[in-house]
Structure 1
Amino acid sequence: MKLKLAVAMLAASLPIASMAFAQGIAPAELAVIDGCLKTAEKTGGFGGACVGLVADPCIKAAEGANDDVAKWKACAARELAIWTLKTNEALKKVQAGGFADVIKAVNDSQKTFAASRDGFCAVFDKVDPGMYRGSASYCRLRETANRSLSLIKLGAAVNEH
């Protein structure tokens, strides 16, 4: 029990990059997304152009005479891990803002987000994989990224003052 507590405390104290590495996120891929988000923040953009920066080149590299749907899904899963990390970071920032009504609204919506996303995205596993490279995996990536981008903006807004 003491070991589990010590490990949890150590993990909580690690920098985000170390946590990302522990979650199987390549630091270089995380840096690509982070760099894009910093640029979007400086220009007042939403960050939508940052979605797909890891998965799309990976999928393109897996295309060819022997298109491999499993590889496409793996490419999407790699970037999904980054956006999941970004979502968790953004949720912490929203909570740090201290606005009880905002925190409640976000927490309530988070309870249903994953189920809604997964239910919607499942339909992409039923269409021709060539129509949406990565199928449901890519859909989950896009939906999670868009959610993350909105939470990032909200976190910034509730921590301005």
Structure 2
Amino acid sequence: MKMLKLAVAMLAANLFPLASMALAQAPTPADVAVIDKCLKGAEESGGFGGECVGLVAHPCLKEAAGKNDDVAQKKVCGERELAIWTVKMSEALKKVLPAASKDMSKAVADSQKTFAASRDRFCIIFDRIEPGIYPGSASYCRLRETANRTLSLIVLGVAVNEH
């Protein structure tokens, strides 16, 4: 139990910078509902949920493209959905860690320690290329990377809680 509390504390510390960045553009309850509805549908159909990534950001990106292709607004679009996936990741971890074996919890905790830093080192590349190549630049990259990681954690949470 002590190791679990330590793992949760370490994960929270690693997610804090991500959470504070994501709060720059808070999602609306309607945004959260769009993602929740999609994830519920994916769960019911046995899907992974990959189709749920971008459901909030894409309409926002389209709108920004219509407004003189506003790069700053595109970044906000990515951050808005990133905030949702950041919360979803935290929720998924709370389901995985207590139910997983000691070895599995350690593996998840260890990988989470480096996740945000690795993601950010990779995604910053998209701020250095021509705007429009990857809409929302690094913000959108962080959204996609975080969402995909979260989807894997959701699946893992289901698996470890079945037994």
* TM-score past 0.5 threshold: yes
**Alpha-carbon distance in structure 2 between the residues aligned to 1:48 and 1:136:** 19
Deviations 1:84-113 (A, max 9, x none): 000000000001214111110000000000
Is the 1:94–1:154 Cα contact (8 Å) retained in structure 2? yes
Instruction: Classify the secondary structure of the residue corresponding to 2:27.
Output: coil
Aligned residue in 2 for 1:90: 92
The aligned residue for residue 9 of structure 1 is none
Tell which deviates more after alignment, 41-50 or 61-70.
Answer: 61-70
Q: What does residue 150 of structure 1 align with?
A: 152
Aligned to 2:112, the other structure's residue is in SS state helix
Structure number with greater Rg is 1
The alignment partner of 2:155 has SS state of helix
Quote the residue 1:36 is aligned against. Answer: 38
Q: Partners in 2 of 1:46 and 1:77 — Cα distance?
A: 22
Shift in Å, 1:158: 0.3
Structure 1 stretches of at least 4 aligned residues deviating more than 2 Å after TM superposition: none
Higher relative contact order by CA 8 Å / sep ≥ 6: 1 or 2?
Answer: 2
Number of aligned residue pairs: 140
TM-score normalised by structure 1 residue count: 0.84
- Cα distance in structure 1, aligned partners of 2:26 and 2:68: 27
| Partner amino acid, structure 1, of 2:69 | D
Residue 4 of structure 1 is matched in structure 2 by none
- Cα deviation, residue 65, structure 1: 5.8
Instruction: State the superposition RMSD in angstroms.
Output: 1.5
Instruction: Give the Cα separation in 2 of the matches to 1:45 and 1:65.
Output: 35
Question: Percent identity between the aligned chains?
Answer: 69
One-letter amino acid matched to 2:93: L
